[in-house]
Amino acid sequence: MTLSAERLSRFARHIVLPEIGGVGQVALADAHVVIVGLGGIGSPALQYLAGAGIGKLTLVDDDTVDASNLQRQTIYAERDVGHGKAVSARRWLANFDPKIAVDLDDRRIDINRAPQIVAGASIVLDGTDNFATRLAVSDACVAMSVPLLSAAVGRFQGQVAAFAGHLADSPCYRCFVGDAFDAEDCDTCADDGMLGAMAGWVGTFAAMQAIRALLAPVGAMGPAQWGTVHLLDGLQPGMRSMTIPKDPQCKTCSATA
């Protein structure tokens, strides 16, 4: 792929970065990112992935916009209340950059549909709010040999982690959380509350980590950090990181060990 003069101008601030350059910007333009969940994490992640010039985005969410979402879900406005998030997100994307290819899926993702949704993606960014969906997406990513960027947020804390469980030496999300959460039993932000800016921090950091992973083969931002979980604290504030080993007993990815 070559970039047009208009695209070169649009992404000039990226291209002058030696860690990205023209080669890296072309790699981003060639990338296909699936965003599962277009809420507090998916909204800012979508904005910065689109701003980075990702060539194709698949938007997955079966929910509708509620007025209570507007405190943290930054792509929506009052006119979107009552409308589907996936459709509203596509409208935002069309207004922001019509040259980005976009697919949408506004049905609930489950273990049966997840593989076909993630197949062929460069990376999947999961910002959903229940373990059943997260594990279904993770298992599908392993099966389809697609890396996963998993992000979660609540109150003043967040986490962002990169997984490539299809690789022999890399864990999957199930290695991290185990098998105990194959149910929709998570606490929700409606129950616990959430600082809107905290969701923004987690979502934008997730977008940066996705870009890091996409550029790892060609750029100088460093390795993709597979198996690394970053814990974000909005009250301190600060961040710490830990490495997750591959679980040799993991029912999803142990066959690749």
SS3 (DSSP) at 56: strand
Residue 253 annotated in active site: no
Separation CA 247–CA 250 (nearest Å): 5
Separation CA 155–CA 202 (nearest Å): 12
Residue 256 token pair:
């690749």
Separation CA 206–CA 125 (nearest Å): 8
Strand order in the sheet with 157-163: 101-105, 56-60, 32-36, 123-126, 148-154, 157-163, 228-233, 238-243
175, 189, 250, 253: the active-site residue: 189
Separation CA 159–CA 238 (nearest Å): 12
**Which residues are part of the catalytic machinery?**
189
